[in-house]
Amino acid sequence: MPSSTTDLRTVRNTAGKQIPAVRSARPCRPLGLRLATLLLAALLPAALPASVAASEYADAAAERLSEYIRVNTQNPPGNETRGVEFIAAIFDAAGIDYDTAESAPGRGNIWARIEGGREPALVLLNHIDVVPADLRYWSANPFGGAIRDGHVYGRGALDMKGLGIVQLQAFLDIAARDRKPNRDIIFVATADEEAGGAFGAGWLVENRPDIFEGVGYLLNEGGGGTVLAADTVFNVEVTQKVPLWLRLIAHGNPGHGSTPQVETSVTRILRAGDRLARTKFPPRVIPAVQGMFEGMAPYQPEPLKARYADITNAVQDVEFMNYLQLTNPGQHALLRNTCSLTGLKGSSKINVVPTEAELELDCRLLPDQDPGAFIEELALIINDPNIEIEKIMGFTPAVSSIDSHLYRAIEAVYAEEFPGSWVVPGVTTGFTDSHFFRDLGTASYGFGPFVVPLEDRRGVHGNNERVSVENMRRGTEVMIALLERFTLD
Ligand SMILES: [Zn+2]
């Protein structure tokens, strides 16, 4: 790639002033808020795109996404094998070997490898399935892949067929070159991410560990860019809150609805639910979250700016925490363990008092929280020996370090392609398939080469999901630039 950074003596910032080619705009903050790499890239006028060479694979990305969206892989049931066939045809046409496996009928997975040198291999991970769409609220067919007003519309445009196509196009671009990479690059498209990955990434890790032998790095969904004030800020996801899904089961004497008892399974479960709903777990700031809030601080109005910049102290203020939960529940959830009460089950008949009543809890733990200790804490809050706590699902917590070759390459590429942008290591409240690989010790990052307007983010799992044609083209170029930097050096 014709990188323009190395031999430039000066560059132009947006004000047109000459400044040194490589500089730090703001001092690095204590906990590693890596300053965004203002390796300003180009002598080009600010309005022109930065340094990436045009790629036919980038130009074709939006059209290819439109076709992929038309392959209906709504989960449930998934039918990811349809997506596997779509991708396999592309590999066939490009003369690239691939392998596929179904974890269950219709639940296909596909992977392909560019052979390289002996450095730890890199996985490009994406999921084929998408969440359902409620047609009544869409202005376009969610499985039509329409391209209009400069956008590709459809379920999966952002989550994550768009990024899957970007990975695929970049993979094809590198595969078409004569130069052998310094490491293997493995493209892996999986089933079932939206339902927890048991038939996709989780199944492959368990049943096809050969794919991941020698892998040191992984890129997945979970990151990306937003414009805040006048700055472009990229979030690179390094860890996630850890889901712990629980079922409380209360026991009691059954009976007839006409003769109420003092205590039943239902009264017990209601009391437990009430206690939990009133509980606010102690706030706590982990380093990755601290870095994130510090990174967001400059874009907040006063007095929030000061609170975000000193989030460790701010969380001790109950009023601030309540305000944050009201106005920004997503950010609030990064500052403490949480449990949402979601499912309730009692009797199936109105005049029967049941022996058992159940309450399901979707708890999300900070990545350093021990799940066993948390369940013990819940038992103390519930304080009822007639209620058992059953674990439905739980992951082990893990964080990927920002002190890695790949993280530094990401910072450098963002700086080069989006001069003046900021890069912030991020924590998400939701989860992706990355945890399967963090568990294996693989440095895994949520890396998104798109800059998505805040209003378009609502399309993720929502209505009228779309991604701009320009994001698809430019995003593919950025992904290619990252692969060049990380694998062709
Ligand atoms: Zn996703």
Q: Domain segments of the chain: what residues?
A: 11-238+398-487, 241-394
Among 427, 220, 239, 446, which residue's Cα sits nearest to residue 333?
427
Distance (angstroms) between ligand 1 centre and the Cα of 252 equals 41
Kindly report the number of other CB atoms within 10 A of residue 402's CB atom. 22
Distance (angstroms) between ligand 1 centre and the Cα of 351 equals 43
Distance (angstroms) between ligand 1 centre and the Cα of 459 equals 12
Distance (angstroms) between ligand 1 centre and the Cα of 429 equals 13
Distance (angstroms) between ligand 1 centre and the Cα of 33 equals 26
Predicted local distance difference test score (pLDDT) of residue 4: 29
Distance (angstroms) between ligand 1 centre and the Cα of 449 equals 15
Q: Are 199 and 129 in contact (CB under 8 A)?
A: no
Q: Are 258 and 352 in contact (CB under 8 A)?
A: no
Distance (angstroms) between ligand 1 centre and the Cα of 193 equals 7
Q: Which residues contact 382 (CB under 8 A, 6 or more apart)?
A: 248, 272, 275, 276, 389
Among 430, 427, 425, 431, which residue's Cα sits nearest to residue 406?
425
Rounded Cα gap, residues 113 and 98, in angstroms: 7
Distance (angstroms) between ligand 1 centre and the Cα of 199 equals 15
Q: Residue 100 is inside which H or E element, if any?
A: strand 98-102
Helix (H, G, I), strand (E, B), or coil: what is residue 280?
A: coil
Q: For the chain, give the longest Cα–Cα distance.
A: 87
CATH of 11-238+398-487, one of 3.40.630.10, 2.40.160.40, 3.10.129.10, 3.90.1170.50: 3.40.630.10
Q: Are 240 and 428 in contact (CB under 8 A)?
A: yes
Distance (angstroms) between ligand 1 centre and the Cα of 160 equals 5
Distance (angstroms) between ligand 1 centre and the Cα of 469 equals 19
Predicted local distance difference test score (pLDDT) of residue 7: 23
Written as six digits, the tokens of 437 are 């690989």
Predicted local distance difference test score (pLDDT) of residue 76: 97
Distance (angstroms) between ligand 1 centre and the Cα of 484 equals 25
Q: Residue 481 is inside which H or E element, if any?
A: helix 469-487
Distance (angstroms) between ligand 1 centre and the Cα of 322 equals 29
Among 202, 162, 173, 168, which residue's Cα sits nearest to residue 186?
168
Helix (H, G, I), strand (E, B), or coil: what is residue 416?
A: helix
Q: Residue 326 is inside which H or E element, if any?
A: helix 318-327
Distance (angstroms) between ligand 1 centre and the Cα of 339 equals 22
CATH architecture, range 241-394? 2-Layer Sandwich (3.30)
Among 244, 293, 282, which residue's Cα sits nearest to residue 426?
293
Distance (angstroms) between ligand 1 centre and the Cα of 263 equals 44
Asked, as a colleague might, if the bond just before 254 is cis with ω within 30 of 0, I would say: no
Q: What is the pTM of this model?
A: 0.81
- The CA-atom distances, in angstroms, between 352 and each of 104, 253, 264, 346, 406 are 40, 11, 11, 10, 60
What amino acid is encoded at 57 in this protein?
Answer: Y
Residues of the chain with pLDDT under 70: 1-54
Distance (angstroms) between ligand 1 centre and the Cα of 427 equals 15
Predicted local distance difference test score (pLDDT) of residue 53: 54
Angle between helices 469-487 and 61-69 (to 10 degrees): 110
Q: Which residues pair with 134 in a beta bridge?
A: none
Written as six digits, the tokens of 359 are 């309450």
Which letter does DSSP use for residue 457 in this model?
H
Place of tokens 């996985």: 123
Cα Rg of the chain (Å, integer)? 24
Q: Which residues pair with 98 in a beta bridge?
A: 112
Q: Are 283 and 268 in contact (CB under 8 A)?
A: no
